[in-house]
Amino acid sequence: MVATVETITAVEEATGKYKYGFVTDIESEKAPKGLNEDIVRFISAKKNEPEWMLNWRLKAYRHWLKMPTPDWSKLAIEPIDYNDIYYYSAPKSIDKLNSLDEVDPELLATYEKLGIPLSEQKMLAGVAVDAVFDSVSVATTFKEELGRAGVIFCPISEAIQQYPELVKKYLGSVIPVADNYFSALNCAVFTDGSFVYVPKGVRCPMELSTYFRINEKNTGQFERTLIIVEDEGYVSYLEGCTAPQRDENQLHAAVVELVALTDAEIKYSTVQNWYPGDETGKGGIYNFVTKRGACKGDRSKISWTQVETGSAITWKYPSCVLTGKDSIGEFYSVAVTNGAQQADTGTKMIHLGEGSKSTIISKGISAGKSQNTYRGLVEIHRTADTARNFTQCDSLLVGQTCGAHTVPYIVSRNPSGKIEHEATTSRISEEQLFYCLQRGMSEEDAVSLIVNGFCKEVMKELPMEFAVEAQKLIGISLEGSVG
Amino acid sequence: MSILEIKELTASVDGTEILHGINLSVNAGEVHAIMGPNGSGKSTLSYVLSGRAGYEITGGDVLLNGTSIIEAEADERARAGLFLAFQYPVELPGVSGMSFLRASVNARLREQGKEEVDQLGFVKIVRAEAQKLGISDDMLKRAVNVGFSGGEKKRYEILQMALLKPVMAILDETDSGLDVDALKIVSQGVNLLRDPQRSMLVITHYQRLLSYIVPDKVHILSGGLIVKSGDKSLALEVEENGYAGINDAA
């Protein structure tokens, strides 16, 4: 039992070790604090948006005002004062850049420090990056090369200007304006994010990725991502996130919409490492995110892979609406909570199309005093003949003071549907830990090894370039904790 | 010179003293056997020496290569060259054998200030050692100890010993759960690792193992004390008269 106590201590110590907690000293331009129609108009004007976009935002804002805060999750959330937040913050130097050479060196240095060099020579081979700093995109790499393949990869603010027809057609088509409280808020005040369009028959020649960074104090980040893949197209997209270490909670309410048409495939991976707060629960990001993909076309496929290690609170259910015949939805998740973190995460698989299939593999690891909940819905509608789902939820506990919860919702309205659900809960045993220690590994290395073994099925779904990084991240988040 | 020196060692588990003052000295290259009935403290001794949590040393000292290790953590002792072949090797679901073995070997190499082995070079070394123990490539690809038979688990322990090259190896009831064929393979593997630079402490309940791994000395552990020491003939005496006979003689 001694080892367990030591493990817990090590975990608690580790929570002070957030590597990305630094702040970039950069002059920024902000909207006045608070939220009202003028702020919505301010953001829209800043982005030079057309009238239809502003109206869309205002409609969302008016909806949001009437909506109650959701309280169904297993999360203890301090009331949020929406008037005490800055909804727009942009580095001053950011106006109208033509090339990377013009990006403020402070910003380049920030991303360099985060391990994301933005100069194309230094980049990971074959990965294009969009870097979003507070409310704006500061750089997008490899645009030209992608352009030659016909792939559009740009900040969504730019897409609204340049590809209004595509944006009009698909924005809000998967997640309607009034879908939920946080998505409605996002619709009203989103500032930037990434836009991806893959035309018919094109396999995107490189991994696309967006790195989100919240820098300013008291600033919310409301990013909006829209990915459209036409018939027989393919794209693999990855997002990463970090934020400085601050005592206050900061709100991150993103919306991600994916659209896959006939025979199209989207692979969306997330490595989420927002600042988790300290071990007493002070500070940290509120990560309230709505992600949904529409498998509209027959045989289309959307695969979500997420590695969630950060944030004080995570509220997130990347989902698939499987409309196409024989379409496929996948959800692979590793959620690590430590210290006072809370996570309520999972997925929704909505089967509408005949022969649609879904797979859910969720691995939750709780340590410290954290609470980790898997919440998932599998729904087979009348139209979805022979639809199938397989779900596996495994929880791993470290110590005596954390919690792991599994809340599956299963609805089948079609007698030919088949749903399987498997769940396990276990601990890293003292025996396993001692076995590794006896082979000379430090406790930290041992825990990292065991936890990565536990998560292996999910980790192998990550693009190669990021798998190693994610493995290390899990080790760091749990330093010393079992897994 | 003595590689392992145990002096007046007392140890408790959950506040109950199990070892009441063990004295034992193992010289370089020697193989000592510790025999004893169930509940005599054999496994406790192996865990106390290797530093398992919950096995508390209450008195005496243990020296490895002349340095006291009783304040050292389990992993520090391991990196100093102490190895324990487990009686019941633990399953690590999802952890690939290669990653596990490499993490172990690299921890040791780092300690010695040597360069770590890369993945490709390491696979070659492991395959060569595995072959000697009849371990298949397929088994190396599986998760550590998951779905292994009793014999496979024990061979895997010896493989780890071969890779880690300990100065002091403790084999805790390596014969338990093995049929004769498996016992032969495992013993052969252990005998290949006998070396003037390596000492071993072979813990067993039965004499059977000692026909294959012939010890230089045999000690009888009973009631938390070494009650008798002798050469390999002592093991045969146990076989004939049982532990009760030995206790009486002591």
**Contact call for residues A56 and A50 (beta carbons, < 8 A):** no
| SS3 assignment, position A366 | strand
Instruction: Choose from A84-88, A94-98, A311-315, A393-397 the range with maximum mean pLDDT.
Output: A393-397
Q: Is residue B28 part of a domain?
A: yes
**Contact call for residues B138 and B53 (beta carbons, < 8 A):** no
Q: Is residue A455 part of a domain?
A: yes
Mean pLDDT estimate for chain A = 82
CATH number where B27 lies: 3.40.50.300
What is the count of structural domains for chain A? 1
pLDDT tens readout for residues A180-193: 999 999 999 888 88
Q: Is residue B36 part of a domain?
A: yes
Any idea which residue has 């995109």 for tokens?
A137
Q: Is residue B161 part of a domain?
A: no
Helix (H) or strand (E) holding A126: none
Q: Is residue B53 part of a domain?
A: yes
Overall average pLDDT of the A75-103 stretch: 69
**Residues 6+ positions from A459 with CB-CB distance below 8 Å:** A307, A334, A452, A467, A470, A471
Would you say the ipTM is above 0.85?
yes
How long is chain A?
Answer: 483
Tell me the one-letter amino acid at A97. L
Give the residues of chain B that fall short of pLDDT 70: 247-250
Minimum Cα–Cα distance from B81: chain A residue: A440
Question: In whole angstroms, what is the distance from residue B238 CA to residue B216 CA?
Answer: 16
A-chain residues near B94 (CB < 8 A): 452-457
**What letter does residue A174 receive in the DSSP assignment?**
S
Domain carrying residue A213: 2-477
Nearest to A320 by CA among A356, A293, A360, A352: A293
Q: Is residue B187 part of a domain?
A: yes
Judge whether A444 is closer than 8 Å to chain B, CB to CB. Answer: no
A-chain residues near B53 (CB < 8 A): 1-4, 6, 430, 434
CA distance A418 to chain B (A): 27
How long is chain B?
Answer: 250
Strands annotated E in A118-186? 127-133, 136-140, 152-155
Evaluate if residue A36 carries a pLDDT over 90. no
Question: In whole angstroms, what is the distance from residue A393 CA to residue A467 CA?
Answer: 21
Instruction: Choose from A29-38, A260-269, A310-319, A365-374 the range with maximum mean pLDDT.
Output: A260-269
> What are B46's two structure tokens?
């192996």
pLDDT tens readout for residues A146-157: 888 899 988 888
Evaluate if residue A11 carries a pLDDT over 50. no
A-chain residues near B160 (CB < 8 A): 439
Q: Work out whether the CA dihedral A425, A431, A436, A442 comes out positive or negative.
A: positive
**What letter does residue A78 receive in the DSSP assignment?**
P
**Contact call for residues A53 and A136 (beta carbons, < 8 A):** no
pLDDT tens readout for residues A271-324: 877 777 777 777 778 888 999 999 999 999 999 998 888 878 888 999 999 999
Could you tell me the CA-to-CA distances from A306 to A66, A227, A264, A377 in Å, in that order?
A: 32, 17, 21, 17
**What letter does residue A101 receive in the DSSP assignment?**
G
Overall average pLDDT of the A447-469 stretch: 82
Evaluate if residue A126 carries a pLDDT over 60. no
**What letter does residue A202 receive in the DSSP assignment?**
P
Longest CA pairwise span in chain B (Å): 57
Query: Percent of chain A, pLDDT > 70?
Result: 79
Verify whether the Cβ–Cβ distance A434 to B74 is below 8 Å: yes
Verify whether the Cβ–Cβ distance B92 to A450 is below 8 Å: yes
Question: In whole angstroms, what is the distance from residue A469 CA to residue B205 CA?
Answer: 48
What is the count of structural domains for chain B? 1
Q: Is residue B112 part of a domain?
A: no
Nearest to A322 by CA among A356, A348, A361, A360: A356
A-chain residues near B51 (CB < 8 A): 437
Strands annotated E in B92-233? 168-172, 199-204, 217-222, 225-230
pLDDT tens readout for residues A412-437: 999 999 999 999 998 888 899 999 99
Report the predicted TM-score, pTM, of the whole model to 2 decimal places.
Answer: 0.81
Q: Is residue B130 part of a domain?
A: no
Domain carrying residue B29: 2-90+166-249
How many other C-beta atoms can be found within 10 angstroms of the C-beta atom of residue B212? 16
Judge whether A422 is closer than 8 Å to chain B, CB to CB. Answer: no
